Structure 1
Amino acid sequence: MTEARASSRGADSSGRQETTLRSTIDTESLAEARRLIGYDYRAARSTIEVSADNTRDYANYIGSNNRMYLDPAYARSSRWGRPLAPPTIVGTSIIAPGLRGVQWIYGGARWRFHRLFGPGDVLAQTGRLVDAEAKSGRAASSMIMQKGVTSCVNADGETVVETEVYTMRIPRKRASSGGLNYAKRETTWTVGELDGFAERLLAQRRLGRGPEIRYWDDVDVGESVDEVLCGPLRLSDIALTRGTVVYGIIGGGRDENGGYSYMLDHYRRHPAHSYENPETGVTEHPHRGHWEQYMADEVGMPGIYDIGYQRLGWLCRVITDWMGDDGRLRALEGWLRRPNVVGDVTYVSGVVTEKRLADGVGTVVCALSGKNQHGEETVRGSAEVELLARGTDTEQLP
């Protein structure tokens, strides 16, 4: 295995170190990654206490004003008889063990929602690595894609949500031939453009279908899902992702959650998780490319970039607004296609691609897509939704 070794000392008493970085992704790298298949990933383990507070926070974070999440009294009068949580609030943990010093980039996820859940539920989340394979793409000549699965189980031992999570592993630029190859760019807007975005964001609050039933019978293949504006992306959006999802307050797992002596201990145990700030000399986490230009450059991003969970949350917001209170999201997948950097706006829309009816249950499949201000697709996905068919006795439905 070819490696660029800056130091073999590991961390010093301050936690500062120069870690071993891989200069290539090769057959030995792939063998190392595959050796960990079946590994029970400690960082994915989490007890998720779904509350009215974190449900509200997550709904606000994805831009949803759905009353099923935000108004308990209203939700109790619905078909479901209880408040619900946005389904993608859980199952977001990155599962990417091994490959010391190789950057992880969130690639996407595929959820299956087996049971409804909401405030008051306590879910036990676990995760494991199930596959690793070599890939190449437009932005990186070589990478390893790691596939993990998470499972969220309720207090009765019933599986509520299962997720497949995909993570790209790419050497950083400090290693020769490392990093992505995106050209740097900055986004600026005029006051008039920003005012226009603000007006549209406020108007979008009326897009949710709410209690008006969207019947399966009335949906046609080729029908559009209303477009929603998300953005411009701000550093505060990224900070909310870090605090709301990644730090495990909701469903991102419990790794690297702490400060000071906790992080010193963490970096000593996992030196490849640390990176020295060239300006201060302080050891920090390479995750900081989400809010610091230097690390974004080291990863090869075009600028300070988002945490990808949020874009998948936007897909969830768009489809749950479209289906209405009586719809049920059964599956959702989303794949990150290009970076979303600070200042970017994203236009998320969809189209109905399939519909079927079985045992009184109407199912609709929608393709979803998000494009930035340059017309580049930055996120792509699909959703499977159950809708009521006319004349159906809801009490007989599962």
Structure 2
Amino acid sequence: MTQTAQTDSTSEKFKEATAAEIDDSDLDKDRAALGVWSANRSQELISTATPEAIRNFANGYGDDNPLYTDPEHGQTTRWGGQVAPQIMAAVLNAPLHGDKLPKELRGGSYRGIHAFVSGGTWEWYRPIYPGDTLYSFSGLESVEEKKSEFAGRSLIRILRDVKMNQHAEVVGVYRTLVIYTERKKAREKGKYSTIEDPSYSKSDIEELDKVYAAEQVRGADSRYWEDVVVGEEMGTMAKGPLTTTDIIVFHAGGYGFVPYGLKTGRLAWKNRQRIAPFYIDNEYGVPDVAQRVHWDSEWAKAIGNPRAYDYGVLRECWIHHFLTDWMGDGAFVVRQHDEIRKFNYAGDIQYLTGRVDGKRQEDGLMLVDVAVEVRNQRGETTAQADATISLPSREHGAALLPQVPGDLQRDALRMFERHGELRKTTR
């Protein structure tokens, strides 16, 4: 086959693969499933937070904070030992036994429709220690149909996950905003196809290296609530330029992209039998995961992007990294809300900056409210976030943790009790 013929064949495969449109029946299924919570049976890549898993996850998004990576350092802190970055709750999950939902309450499948995380909100209640196994129950909280400038018809779905440990203690609640777009329309629009590839000189990289060299982990140097000034800047953190290696390292650190997953060999074949629409032929005619938009620029171009791009979840981890570097060992992130505004493409650099927007006392907690902005080397805002942090106080002592709402804790106990009952019957 000549190069021209091969290119034409690839183009036709891409056109065929990107023709999926949103099915109204999937939308109807979603509406029927609103507010229905069920046990999450997924087995994530990691289910238990071992010391090594915690270290590797933190390193997977570029975090070298000794509170997460050095068990001996943790023994000198208020936690009494190593703890996980709070956002690690996103990738930890062991199967929770629960009653199977009837088919009509499981929501739509949206097969062949491109989906990407556009942001989310975390509310945390307690830390994750080595040895903690996390379980979850989840469901669809809302679904909204809208017209998108980029993709024509699209859907915004908010999924709620309640994360709890092996003692049925609620660790956190994660609300994920996921946008589903029709690939065909996204490709035809080509809104981002004119974005130029970045190019850096040695002096550009030297300037970037100065930002990395200036970054500091607050660590054991406690940041007290009384010392925080409203309006103060929080410094600058760099991430990038984004490479395929960054994506690989993030996966190696624990991001499993369950329930789809990345498989190889016979396991990949079995996965293809299970979820065939998730596999789309590449330019060689080989079935490969639709997820490869994050490392395969040709496939990314097929859905209207100039090249491969990162995961929204990865940028959420970067924002969390920025917060934890600033706050110190004795603090606790109560809430993190982030919005992904633009794609972060291969080769792009992201600069994170922040400011303190307010400080207050609430239910005994000494809180600060902060705002974070993420901008690329073109000066575009690609993500933004706001967060609330519980800080230690010179007057009142250690940072307190927020109380779990009673109804939420009861739901967790009920789900875990049913988990135990079903385990008895299956042993």
Classify the TM-score, shorter chain: 0.7 to 0.9
Q: 1:352 to 1:176 in 2, by over 3 A?
A: closer
User: Do 1:39 and 1:129's aligned partners in 2 also have CA atoms closer than 8 Å?
Assistant: no
Over the aligned positions, Cα root-mean-square deviation in angstroms equals 3.0
- Alignment counterpart, residue 260 of structure 1, candidates 262, 265, 281: 265
Q: Offset at 1:271?
A: 2.4
User: Do 1:145 and 1:167's aligned partners in 2 also have CA atoms closer than 8 Å?
Assistant: yes
Which stretch of the first structure deviates more once superposed, 45-54 or 32-41?
Answer: 32-41
Secondary structure of the 1:48 match is coil
Aligned length: 376
| TM-score, normalised by the number of residues in structure 1 | 0.85
Residue 371 of structure 1 corresponds to which residue in structure 2?
Answer: 375
Question: CA separation in 1, counterparts of 2:178 and 2:43?
Answer: 14
Q: Offset at 1:36?
A: 4.5
- Alignment counterpart, residue 327 of structure 2, candidates 320, 323, 329: 323
User: Do 1:109 and 1:165's aligned partners in 2 also have CA atoms closer than 8 Å?
Assistant: yes
Q: Which amino acid aligns with 1:161?
A: G
Residue 71 of structure 2 corresponds to which residue in structure 1?
Answer: 72
The gaps in structure 2 that reach 5 residues or longer are 1-12, 93-105, 403-427
CA deviations 1:21-46 (Å, max 9, x no partner) are 66544755533443454576655767
The gaps in structure 1 that reach 5 residues or longer are 1-15
Residue 271 of structure 1 corresponds to which residue in structure 2?
Answer: 276
CA deviations 1:168-209 (Å, max 9, x no partner) are 1112138985776553431110122113323432332xx222
Residue 392 of structure 2 corresponds to which residue in structure 1?
Answer: 388
Secondary structure of the 1:122 match is coil
Aligned sequence identity (%)? 26
Question: CA separation in 1, counterparts of 2:365 and 2:385?
Answer: 23
CA deviations 1:137-187 (Å, max 9, x no partner) are 443332111211112211111111210111111121389857765534311
Question: CA separation in 2, counterparts of 1:258 and 1:183?
Answer: 33
User: Do 1:241 and 1:309's aligned partners in 2 also have CA atoms closer than 8 Å?
Assistant: no
Question: CA separation in 2, counterparts of 1:63 and 1:195?
Answer: 19
Secondary structure of the 2:54 match is helix
User: Do 2:187 and 2:303's aligned partners in 1 also have CA atoms closer than 8 Å?
Assistant: no
Matches within 5 A, 1:216-231: 216-231=225-240
Residue 208 of structure 1 corresponds to which residue in structure 2?
Answer: 217
Q: Offset at 1:254?
A: 4.6
Question: CA separation in 2, counterparts of 1:299 and 1:92?
Answer: 27
Question: Does 2:179 correspond to 1:168?
Answer: yes
Moved over 4 A (4+): 16-29, 38-47, 174-182, 395-398
Question: Does 2:363 correspond to 1:362?
Answer: no
Q: 1:51 to 1:176 in 2, by over 3 A?
A: closer
Q: Which amino acid aligns with 1:276?
A: D
Q: Offset at 1:125?
A: 3.3
Residue 9 of structure 1 corresponds to which residue in structure 2?
Answer: none
Q: Offset at 1:110?
A: 0.9
Question: CA separation in 2, counterparts of 1:188 and 1:130?
Answer: 42
Q: 1:271 to 1:357 in 2, by over 3 A?
A: same
Matches within 5 A, 1:1-398: 24-25=21-22, 30-37=27-34, 42-43=41-42, 48-91=47-90, 98-173=109-184, 181-204=192-215, 207-247=216-256, 252-277=257-282, 279-394=283-398
Q: Which amino acid aligns with 2:275?
A: H
User: Do 2:316 and 2:338's aligned partners in 1 also have CA atoms closer than 8 Å?
Assistant: yes
Q: 1:237 to 1:96 in 2, by over 3 A?
A: farther
Question: CA separation in 1, counterparts of 2:42 and 2:302?
Answer: 25
